[in-house]
Structure 1
């Protein structure tokens, strides 16, 4: 099965426009051949299929938008958990507090790298592996402090906050990997090609019916589909998830360490 995520957005747009143009011309050719049979019911059929296409577009758009919002919420949750862990790290005894803050600063830098415009599965996997290394160091640091003095309240709270940081990484990675299923996109394109082909058929059946309205509708549908693909891609395109909460978290930790912003 074709993986839509493996194609560029411009490539998908051009392929959609070409497919819709071919559907219009093929439908128009069939309509001209069937012109003698009359086209009384073509308008009804066009309306029904276009209504089905509108329903399918709305359904697919809602799926892509919900995934986009999930990614935005994941960034906010992860940034909040990192800031909470950094605040609790300041309560740890020296020099463990500086060590924990340094590790959290490095960890936040890796999480910020996920805002790259071209986020590939390989780069995401590499970022997760680097994050896991720092997670292990933070966890060993917390466990070491707990073994030294298990009555320290800050240490227990710090370990608990690390669990939230680790859980939020899993949630964010899952959100980044979540896409509209390809079978849904195949269904959307199948209905779109059929609907636009019927527009071409109608323009061929009716005498003196120009192609322009069918091409305008096809172009608009292709642009809407491009928007759906853009929302569904966290690492490329024109619509991006704001990384401001993570940037502010990195600045806050740098300030606690006395580093320049």
Structure 2
């Protein structure tokens, strides 16, 4: 996992800082504009163009975060289905072997569920991945060992592909779970929000009046949308999580 200042900070703290910075930019712009004697109509046109560009970047960033969130959900559902299929196929083995498979599947499920529920604790995440790797190796070694036995030809032809699909889906889920909106785009969004706030304050200064409710509401709404965007892009913490999808793994543990 890559640690950066933006990713490590809580989204709420980020937007609170942004909100204060936007209000400060409006105040600075107002003070500068208030000293001007004449109103330049071109400033309003520039502000309108910048607002349109901000809306474009905001919508683009939100769409990227939403797309990644949907991918995480779909991949987690797909992984749960693959695990469920493999677990069911253990039933075609004799009871002695079936119980051994089920025991390993239980360890594997426990480690996979822990991986999704853990927050940004590098040590615990790596330990969970190692536990998954150990359980995966046990399952694969057992399946391939009995695949060499002609008495288990049918069972092996069903179990080996199921395990392969299960491992592939886990690898894909790990990659998608850690996928983020590029921070360059997020910083660009922050920059435009602050620049536009400055122009709003500047135009208000030229008009010698400022609508406090309007500028406060503008900053608040922009920060709310950015907060939701950041929250969508942080599956391990925040308001928007994958709890309902993770519960599918919990159901697989039930007898």
- TM bucket by the smaller chain? over 0.9
Report the number of matched residues: 253
Distance 1:148 1:182, change over 3 A: same
Distance 1:120 1:181 in 2: 21
**Equivalent in the alignment of 2:88:** 87
Q: Provide the TM-score with structure 2 as the length reference.
A: 0.92
1:209-224 equivalences under 5 Å are 209-224=210-225
2:247 & 2:146 partners in 1: Cα distance? 29
Q: 1:47 to 1:14 in 2, by over 3 A?
A: same
| Alignment correspondent of 2:12 | 10
Moved more, 139-148 or 118-127: 118-127
Change (3 A) 1:228 1:120: farther
Consecutive unaligned residues of structure 2, counting only runs of 5 or more, are none
Instruction: Tell me the residue number matched to 1:75.
Output: 76
Partner of 2:251: 251
**Consecutive unaligned residues in structure 1, runs of 5 or more:** 256-261
- Give secondary structure in 2 for the equivalent of 1:37: coil
Q: CA contact under 8 A between 1:60 and 1:180: conserved in structure 2?
A: yes
The answer to whether the 8 A contact 2:201-2:210 is kept is no
| C-alpha spacing 1:2/1:18, structure 2 compared with 1 (3 Å) | farther
Instruction: Measure the CA separation in 1 of the matches of 2:210 and 2:247.
Output: 56
Higher mean C-alpha deviation, range 184-193 or range 146-155: 146-155
Name the CA distance, whole Å, in 2 between partners of 1:215 and 1:2: 30
Q: 1:90 and 1:46 mapped to 2: Cα distance? A: 67
Q: CA deviation at 1:151?
A: 5.7
Q: Do residues 23 (structure 1) and 25 (structure 2) align?
A: yes
The SS at the match of 1:95 is helix
Residue 62 of structure 2 is matched in structure 1 by 61
- Does the CA-based 8 Å contact 1:115-1:243 persist in structure 2? no
Measured after TM superposition, the shift of residue 63 of structure 1 is 0.4
Where does 1:83-162 land on structure 2 (aligned, <5 Å)? 83-116=84-117, 118-149=119-150, 152-162=153-163
C-alpha distance 17-49 of structure 1, shift in aligned 2 (>3 A): same
| Alpha-carbon RMSD | 1.9
